[in-house]
Amino acid sequence: MGNAPVELRGFRIWKGYLDGPAQAGLVAALRPVLKAAPLFRPVTPRGQAMSVRMTSAGELGWVTDRKGYRYEALHPSGTSWPAIPDAVLAIWAGVTGLERMPDSCLINYYGADARMSLHQDKDEEDYSWPVVSVSLGDDGLFRIGNTTRGGKTDSIWLGSGDVVVMGGDARLTYHGIDRIRFGSSRLLPKGGRINLTLRVAS
């Protein structure tokens, strides 16, 4: 699956890691997850609705509301998060080589006007574990900054099937999605982009 990764500011990016059938299989594996834990629109601690919709799989799910950013054991509906599909765990194993499996998989859905401002993934207990990002569907313009706010940034388009590993010195680098090239993929029937981020949260 895929070629050797390219490096950008310490991020390892596998372009085309998942081929077409693998992408379709992953979407099929996610359908029961989304049925058991429906997407919801989160609110930041300041009360601003985010433009992405999200849910999670695994022992813990990442949430945000007026109480702050954190991991919780239950979906906002009160039900447990469904298990992370084996096909998703296989990607983690393939790109990290780690025996330790993630205990959280955040699932973000980006519609035509969705974006994610520059941020750090820092709600986990141990930053020595990487974060693995999987892109499905429409292209997203991924921007990578620095370990502190400000300064020069670099951008790269992430397409369906691309996988990114954020680890080592780049683990706390600021990153985000500036825009979606809506309709650039036919993978998702209604368009848009699904991003999976695998983390060791606890």
pLDDT digits (tens, 9 = 90+) for 14-58: 999 999 999 999 999 999 999 999 999 999 999 999 999 999 999
Q: Is the CATH number 2.60.120.590 carried by domain 6-199? A: yes
The ranges assigned to domains in the chain are 6-199
CA distance 89 to 109: 19
| 3-state SS, residue 52 | coil
Written as six digits, the tokens of 143 are 């921007």
What is the rounded CA–CA span in Å between residue 144 and residue 164?
12
C-alpha 66/C-alpha 179 separation (Å) is 26
pLDDT in tens, 57-82: 999 999 999 999 999 999 999 999 99
Say what the pTM is. Answer: 0.95
Separation of alpha carbons 143 and 133, rounded Å: 13
